[in-house]
Structure 1
């Protein structure tokens, strides 16, 4: 065993420098393992940025070569909180804060490491809204548990080595604890980063790195325990090649959130930060709020509305250091989610993607030349839409969302899909009947922007509505509906309530045609009562002579029918 070094503030600075060097060396390796919570290949980068910020703060708060243990430890913690990047960086900042809270003696000893790791575990547990096993948090807890076995008088070299070895052992178990890791066949990226940092501590206090067998970072992939029917067979690469899938702890679906938002909060207190956490829980996920022990906080959240997340911080105190990044745009810029463009005979031709529900509707859109993305059983995710756009291999793609995605979601997909070789144009179709109207005027011989304009204009000129059965009692603009009532909607607003669905359908048709119209398209749903289509067609011919009726059996769930009036 190498002789122990003087355990004052200089050993903490040495630890930080060694950790930075270790993360620099293994940054890309850590990034390649990154599949949770968002597979954006930046965990190694985030840890490195955070550790560099911590090291840089020594000069600002303490000065290089400072011997005072607590002074250096506090500087590391403040720098890490202020410069934290991503989930993993915020958690790392709490490891350093735990050490700072435990640094109450003139020397770095076993008590410092043992208490520091335990406090770090508690701080992280309090900071993370939803803990998931098999992550950096699990690895940290195992390291703390190992250090807790040693009394104060134990040599720090032994304690540090035991903590690092326990972390390494815990890392190897992460694929069996978190399904998304096991499916990808990798260990947790953040956990590996923490092992690198704890190994750096061993190096700093002993003068040499730990002597252990290399850790197997890749393991045999296992089949997911559950399978959901995918709307379309969109091929997805192995997560290390850039799959973008995240919808919560299981990470089996596409991303629920568009943005990562981080900022610092000053001039606040625990109560207001607790209120901020509650607000952010309603806006997104992956929420981590940590303090630096000196009155400053770092806030991290994944969400779809970055502006709302920032506004929430304004109510908590003085915010600064705001950073907002888009997962899809970052993935595009890193070369993720953009498989090589495949050469096909129709490479230069324009493609159309339509989001559709129902077998009949899918056949109808496909017969008009659209590539169909099904949304029957689950909402379409941004990753699925982006994936099918890329798989088409077309230089120009028109998207008919048909009301299945929000404008914000569509803009995010468009930004990620568009580059120098690809033009993606979004059409404002709020329902499938508007999508059918736009397809009717599609002309591939026109310029893409002209074609998109003409199709959007046709969709906008189509008034649309739907007929449904009320599932629960609700108050609407036209009164209160009861379960089982037929309700007719014009766009998204209820305009008809009738105890009988057929009667509601007749009234809906009359109200919609009251503003005029020459053609009514009825797209019948899978739950439509038998004979409803002929009943409404007869009603239209009797009450609105001269109006043409087109009936299609879409088979979509939910709506008894969609109708479009042109």
Structure 2
């Protein structure tokens, strides 16, 4: 048997994160099947796995110190948190990071870390409910704290895991929804997996939980039903007072789960945000990573109001909106055209050449030669005969309109993911890594990452005299843009294109994609390709006819 660790260093912490990912992967479906609270949407295991995987990937680039690895785990978990359970998991890692700043994690500091995690998780929740992952976390911390002072690290983490198991077994008697379903809390089981992984890393032996009872016939204490009913009435009354549109059936549900990240803010503005979210919804959780970034979670009827509250608090990014209430109300009555399990990619494109190019790569195409409105995009999504839709807007609509489209599209019993493609060349990069064999969330992540890593620009000809950030241009001048900003003004399009290429390739690149517009000549295409070959040897150039009217050439660099 391996000798138990007396302290956790950075490498052991990183190894623990990997073991957590493996453990959650193997138990993901078990955890999903237990998911009945707060919404029975069978995704708790998936959310925990996604969150832990984001944390582990963040820690890969950290240096070897325990403080830096722990901080990276917390940052990654907060940034990648999914669902209530994922946000709570991020606070477990935040608690460890707060204590690891001292430079070590031994028996004493691990107790402190679990205590800190329990405090952070409890404080993050708008209305704490017994019988959830937070309850299990609190009892795990208490069990670790009850160990004699001379207990070694292995004893402390083993006691914490055992305390979590005991608390998990009691969750059906604490929470009415669990008692009626006869199951333990899904998030609590996930926490047991995570603590058992820590025991395995420290002692070399992972506890055998094959006999762990996940289903139990219990008699729920009447007070549990009454307390929950009173709480539901409180929420209904509260939302009615706020003018919210609350379902009038016995099972109170909300339509959307909204999550996003907030940066460039402070504690005061976050406190205001938490209050405002409590007015527009419930299941409010607002947590920080200890390094200036905050993760926000809320269930609500008005997704736009939840996002607007965040915009008032700071810089909002990483917005996710999922719809679940209509699925619960309607049952399995999705679109008649839906084919379960089929995934489609919908690309918004301009130009005959671009339409053929995207279609040849397997994408469904929505032409944007004329202006695309939110209604047109929504109709195109609804006409697709698939339950999973990845949408590449390619810059056709602003972010706020896309949020509305996404929220409405999810009402039709389908999963819709909007990818951050701001141009057709970014869309092509995303489409190149599309793989239907992966889960939709992983496929969307890989495509989003490919799009985000593609620098893009465009070459245009000025139609009139105007003022830009680079100065005044005259009609007929060649313009080079990076994103939406003019960075080059030249005498003609070819010169503007060459100078633009030098800028976007100045920080590196292996592949340049040139998507030629309707008015681009062969001479222009050849001039730009030759420039790359002579000035940037080793960089591959792909040239495609796009046929778009707005850009003479779109440029993508990977």
Listed as ranges, the matches of 1:271-420 within 5 Å are: 271-328=268-325, 337-338=331-332, 415-416=411-412
Contact 2:255/2:326 (8 A) holds in 1: no
1:155 is matched with 152
Deviation at 1:256, TM superposition (A): 2.6
Q: Choose which of 58, 69, 76 in structure 2 pairs with 1:72.
A: 69
Contact 1:50/1:83 (8 A) holds in 2: yes
Q: Secondary structure at the match of 1:27?
A: helix
Q: Aligned equivalents of 1:227 and 1:291: distance in 2?
A: 31
Q: Secondary structure at the match of 1:320?
A: strand
Deviations 1:235-279 (A, max 9, x none): xxxxxxxxxxx8889999434310000010111111100000111
Q: Aligned equivalents of 2:205 and 2:410: distance in 1?
A: 51
Contact 1:185/1:222 (8 A) holds in 2: no
Contact 2:278/2:284 (8 A) holds in 1: yes
Deviations 1:404-448 (A, max 9, x none): xxxx9xx979944699xxxxxxxxxxxxxxxxxxxxxxxxxxxxx
2:132 is matched with 135
Q: CA RMSD in A?
A: 3.2
1:93 is matched with 90
1:112 is matched with 109
Q: Aligned equivalents of 2:235 and 2:319: distance in 1?
A: 26
Q: Aligned equivalents of 1:296 and 1:258: distance in 2?
A: 26
- Asked if residue 3 in structure 1 is aligned to residue 3 in structure 2, the reply is yes
Deviations 1:269-305 (A, max 9, x none): 1110000011110100000000000111100000000
Contact 1:7/1:107 (8 A) holds in 2: yes
Q: Aligned equivalents of 1:339 and 1:318: distance in 2?
A: 38
Q: Secondary structure at the match of 2:316?
A: strand
Contact 1:175/1:186 (8 A) holds in 2: yes
Deviation at 1:149, TM superposition (A): 1.9
- Asked if residue 208 in structure 1 is aligned to residue 209 in structure 2, the reply is no
Deviation at 1:112, TM superposition (A): 2.3
Deviation at 1:155, TM superposition (A): 1.2
Deviations 1:429-473 (A, max 9, x none): xxxxxxxxxxxxxxxxxxxxxxxxxxxxxxxxxxxxxxxxxxxxx
Q: Choose which of 263, 276, 279 in structure 1 pairs with 2:260.
A: 263
Listed as ranges, the matches of 1:163-562 within 5 Å are: 163-211=160-208, 214-220=211-217, 222=219, 225=222, 253-328=250-325, 337-338=331-332, 415-416=411-412
Q: Aligned equivalents of 2:40 and 2:204: distance in 1?
A: 35
Contact 2:334/2:414 (8 A) holds in 1: no
Q: Aligned equivalents of 1:99 and 1:72: distance in 2?
A: 10
Deviation at 1:79, TM superposition (A): 0.5
Q: Secondary structure at the match of 1:289?
A: strand
Q: Aligned equivalents of 1:203 and 1:12: distance in 2?
A: 12
- Asked if residue 43 in structure 1 is aligned to residue 44 in structure 2, the reply is yes
2:485 is matched with none
Deviation at 1:222, TM superposition (A): 4.6
Q: Choose which of 64, 87, 99 in structure 2 pairs with 1:102.
A: 99
Q: Secondary structure at the match of 1:265?
A: strand
Contact 2:261/2:295 (8 A) holds in 1: yes
2:545 is matched with none
For structure 2, list consecutive stretches of 5 or more residues without a partner in the other structure.
226-231, 237-246, 336-403, 416-558
Deviation at 1:220, TM superposition (A): 1.3
Q: Aligned equivalents of 1:199 and 1:44: distance in 2?
A: 16
1:18 is matched with 19
For structure 1, list consecutive stretches of 5 or more residues without a partner in the other structure.
229-245, 342-407, 420-566
Q: Secondary structure at the match of 1:315?
A: helix
Q: Aligned equivalents of 2:294 and 2:59: distance in 1?
A: 19
Contact 2:254/2:325 (8 A) holds in 1: no
Deviations 1:10-29 (A, max 9, x none): 11111111110000000011
Residues 224 and 113 (structure 1 numbering): CA distance in 2 closer, same or farther, change over 3 Å? Answer: closer
Deviations 1:142-178 (A, max 9, x none): 0000111235642111100000000011000000000
Contact 2:126/2:285 (8 A) holds in 1: yes
Q: Aligned equivalents of 1:223 and 1:126: distance in 2?
A: 27
Contact 1:262/1:298 (8 A) holds in 2: yes
Deviation at 1:322, TM superposition (A): 0.6
Deviations 1:311-345 (A, max 9, x none): 0001101111111111146779xxx931899xxxx
**If the length of structure 2 is used for normalisation, what is the TM-score?**
0.54
Higher-Rg member (1/2): 1
